[in-house]
Amino acid sequence: MPTHLIDSPIYGNAWHTAEMRAIFDDEPRLQSWLDLIATLAEAQAELGFIPQAAAPEIRRVCHLALLDLAAVQRGYAETGHSMLGLIRELKKLCRGDAGEWVYFGATVQDITDTHTALALRQVWGIVFRDVRQIEADLLRLALEHRDTPMIGRTHGQAGLPITAGYKLAVWVAEIRRQLERLKDMSRRLGEGQLAGGVGSLSSYGERGLELQRNFLARLGLRPPVISWITARDSLVEFVNLLALIAATFDKIGHEVYNLQRPEIGEIHEGFVTGTVGSITMPHKRNPEIAEHLGTLARLIRHQAHALAESQVHEHERDGRGWKAEWALLGPVCAMTGALLRLSQTMCANLVIERARMAANLEATGGAILSENVMLALAHHLGKQTAHELVYQTALAAMAAGQPFKQALLEQPTITQYLSASTIGELLDYRRHTGACPQLVDQVAASVHSARLTDEVYLT
């Protein structure tokens, strides 16, 4: 019976993607370890550390289908050692004395850390690809709604008019920053490990560094400047970057969650017939995706924090921190995959309700442009005096349930300086969205330029 929803055959799809599971599930992880054991043997044979004949035999038996997994499991239970059961089974499978040379001179972390380096490089590629696609979808929508006016809100209240394109462009700019962080992070991924017991490569003598280079070159990995058995900062950085990315899409989802409320109704998830929001309230169309983004992001942030604890290691090896990665890396990456898949679906199908945005602006009765009136009066009365006058007029209008424009026209101190036509012009929200359209253009130009430099990371 699954103990985590990621493993649930019914609900698991909401918590992982098949692509991420193919990296972190037991069987693909174990096969990756086997491939690394075989590759190490080939590198060692080439340099004369083990007999030439041993390497192809070790390669032959390093296939999951040949293993007695129950025996591997028993080996772990009996010894408490994470790799010894596997080594014993490989020795049994090998012909001749080739099994004596399995894992020669290496330690557990040489294989598991190198696997982690390969796995996280794959995760990086998936995340970069998906975030980049979401950026493209939202940028298209931002340009489409470059000039669509809507209410800009501060502290949850109507503030000033903006455009829908501006709101979306703010999201796009943040997503681009995450992509640039991913590009920077890529320089610190892709380092493998072959270090031995304390990181000194002592079991390989003077040719240890040569073997390390040979082994890692076969895998397309870089040799480290120095062993990172206890230096886990890059792993912690990457997982916390995933948490940062998750928070970006949580923020976007939270915005959609709120703007989809029927009393606002300005942006909502695309609706698919057959989706059921409630089994008791048939009319409901819940923001299911936006809501689940919040759930996933919270768990990702929590586990990233837990992984940060493993950065503190003692001496030259500390199983406490290192083994915590086994429990945390897979779920974080699996949930990040699910979060990005859902974000893609949501952002590619967002519905922008132009008419509702306009109606909500109209419903403010012009009060949303009180700043315009205040600034126009400031040239005649001074800014502080103008603020007080417009403030009192707005309060009186709200108390009386009167349109703001009407209240302004009935205030003689105001009409002494501002004509009815001037007031009407100042309260036309279609003409007063500031630099929002130009800011959308700036983001678009910046993103288009940056996307050209992405190509080297997509190969």
Q: List, for residues 340-364, the tens digit of each pLDDT value.
A: 999 999 999 999 999 999 999 999 8
pLDDT category, 3, cuts 50, 70, 90?
low
Q: How far apart are CA 303 and CA 299, in angstroms?
A: 6
Decide if pLDDT at 11 tops 80. Answer: no
Rounded to an integer, the average pLDDT of 145-173 is 96
Report pLDDT for 44.
97
Report pLDDT for 279.
40
**Residue 199 corresponds to which tokens in the numbers above?**
């990181």
Report pLDDT for 112.
94
Q: How far apart are CA 195 and CA 208, in angstroms?
A: 9
Q: Which of 78-82, 220-224, 241-245 shows the lowest mean pLDDT across its residues?
A: 78-82
Q: How far apart are CA 117 and CA 124, in angstroms?
A: 11
What is each CA distance from 45 to 40, 51, 207, 243, in whole angstroms? 9, 6, 13, 42
pLDDT category, 414, cuts 50, 70, 90?
confident
Are 344 and 133 in contact, with CB atoms under 8 Å apart?
Answer: yes
Give φ, ψ of 160 to 5 degrees: -140, 160
Q: Which of 40-49, 138-147, 381-390 shows the lowest mean pLDDT across its residues?
A: 381-390
Active site residue 200: no
Decide if pLDDT at 2 tops 70. Answer: no
CATH code at 366-426: 1.10.40.30
Q: Which of 91-100, 111-120, 244-253, 420-429 shows the lowest mean pLDDT across its residues?
A: 420-429
Length of the chain counted residue by residue: 459
Decide if pLDDT at 1 tops 70. Answer: no
Active site residue 155: yes
Domain 110-193+228-360 has CATH 3.40.228.10: no
Catalytic residue among 200, 278, 302, 305: 278
Decide if pLDDT at 23 tops 90. Answer: yes
Report pLDDT for 214.
97
Q: Is 238 helix (H, G, I), strand (E, B) or coil?
A: helix
**DSSP secondary structure of 53-115:** THHHHHHHH--GGGS-HHHHHHHHHHH--TTHHHHHHHHHHSSTTGGGGTTTT--HHHHHHHH
Instruction: Spell out the alpha helix ranges (H) of 145-279.
Output: 164-186, 208-218, 233-259
Catalytic residue among 155, 283, 315, 449: 155
**% of the chain surpassing 90 pLDDT:** 69
196: left (phi over 0), alpha (psi -120 to 50) or beta: left
Domain boundaries of the chain, sorted by first residue = 13-101, 110-193+228-360, 366-426
Rounded to an integer, the average pLDDT of 287-305 is 93
Report pLDDT for 165.
98
**% of the chain surpassing 70 pLDDT:** 96
Q: Would the CATH topology of 13-101 be identical to that of 110-193+228-360?
A: no
| Topology of the domain comprising 13-101 | Fumarase C; Chain B, domain 1 (1.10.275)
